[in-house]
């Protein structure tokens, strides 16, 4: 007999009952909200291949994290989000792209296509890579006006995220946000 949770995932990317299907974004056990697999959009370049902000939205992350009962499971989900970030070329991991104020090393590169900003990001810490995914869901593929107008503090409050991060991780998260906002200014 097939596992009913596994059957709910039409993409085949399901891992276990505690891990969201990252192809479909939402936790598999969420039922009807779970998405059918869609063909990925063709990207113009490596940065626009980043699914955060386009296919994985802030609403998706809010809904997925609301599904989990414990912060341990939410942390696992956030770490899995980080695994969805496209790998960054080693040549881009330079002092110029390093985000100051983070406990871990974080690199952020922006590229503008028309009016939209796309970001490539990486970190040497798994949880920070996941937090980058949370932030990029808000900003990637957006215009400068959309970046300026997005209420990141309200988003973090809805996620209840800052209460569950160490002060140094919280400061690093804010440093990532400030860097993106400065790049789009």
pLDDT at 49: 64
Residue 85: inside a domain: yes
Residue 88: inside a domain: yes
Whether the Cβ atoms of residue 146 and residue 125 lie closer than 8 Å to each other: no
In DSSP terms, which residues pair with 116 in a beta bridge?
Answer: 113, 143
Whether the Cβ atoms of residue 140 and residue 54 lie closer than 8 Å to each other: yes
Percentage of residues in the chain having pLDDT higher than 90: 63
Q: How far apart are CA 24 and CA 80, in angstroms?
A: 13
- Overall domain count for the chain: 1
Residue 33: inside a domain: no
Residue 111: inside a domain: yes
Residue 3: inside a domain: no
- Under DSSP, is residue 12 helix (H, G, I), strand (E, B) or coil? coil
Using one digit for the tens of pLDDT, what is the confidence trace for 58-110?
999 999 999 999 999 999 999 999 999 999 999 999 999 999 988 899 999 99
Whole-model pTM above 0.85? no
Q: How far apart are CA 162 and CA 174, in angstroms?
A: 10
| H/E segment holding residue 2 | none
Share of the chain residues as helix, strand and coil, in percent rounded to the nearest 5: 50, 10, 40
Residue 15: inside a domain: no
Using one digit for the tens of pLDDT, what is the confidence trace for 132-170?
999 999 999 999 999 999 999 999 999 998 899 989 999
- Known catalytic residues are 102
Residue 87: inside a domain: yes
Residue 163: inside a domain: yes
Q: What's the CATH number where 179 sits? A: 3.90.1010.10
- Under DSSP, is residue 18 helix (H, G, I), strand (E, B) or coil? coil
**What residue numbers bound the domain in which 121 lies?**
40-183
Q: For 39-54, give one letter per residue: b (16+ CB within 10 A) or e.
A: eeeeeeeebbebbbbb
């Amino acid at each position: 007999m097939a596992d009913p949770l596994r059957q709910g995932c039409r993409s085949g990317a399901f891992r276990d009952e505690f891990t969201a299907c990252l192809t479909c974004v939402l936790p598999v056990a969420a039922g009807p909200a779970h998405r059918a697999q869609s063909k990925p959009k063709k990207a113009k370049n490596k940065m626009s291949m980043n699914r955060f902000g386009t296919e994985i939205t802030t609403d998706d992350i809010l809904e997925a994290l609301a599904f989990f009962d414990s912060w341990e499971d939410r942390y696992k989900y956030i770490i899995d989000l980080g695994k969805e970030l496209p790998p960054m070329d080693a040549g881009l991991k330079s002092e110029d792209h390093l985000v100051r104020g983070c406990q871990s090393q974080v690199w952020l590169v922006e590229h503008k296509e028309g009016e939209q900003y796309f970001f490539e990001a990486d970190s040497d810490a798994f949880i920070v890579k996941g937090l980058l995914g949370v932030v990029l869901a808000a900003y990637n593929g957006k215009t400068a006006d959309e970046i300026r107008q997005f209420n990141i503090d309200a988003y973090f409050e809805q996620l209840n995220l800052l209460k569950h991060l160490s002060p140094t991780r919280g400061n690093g998260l804010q440093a990532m946000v400030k860097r993106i906002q400065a790049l789009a200014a």
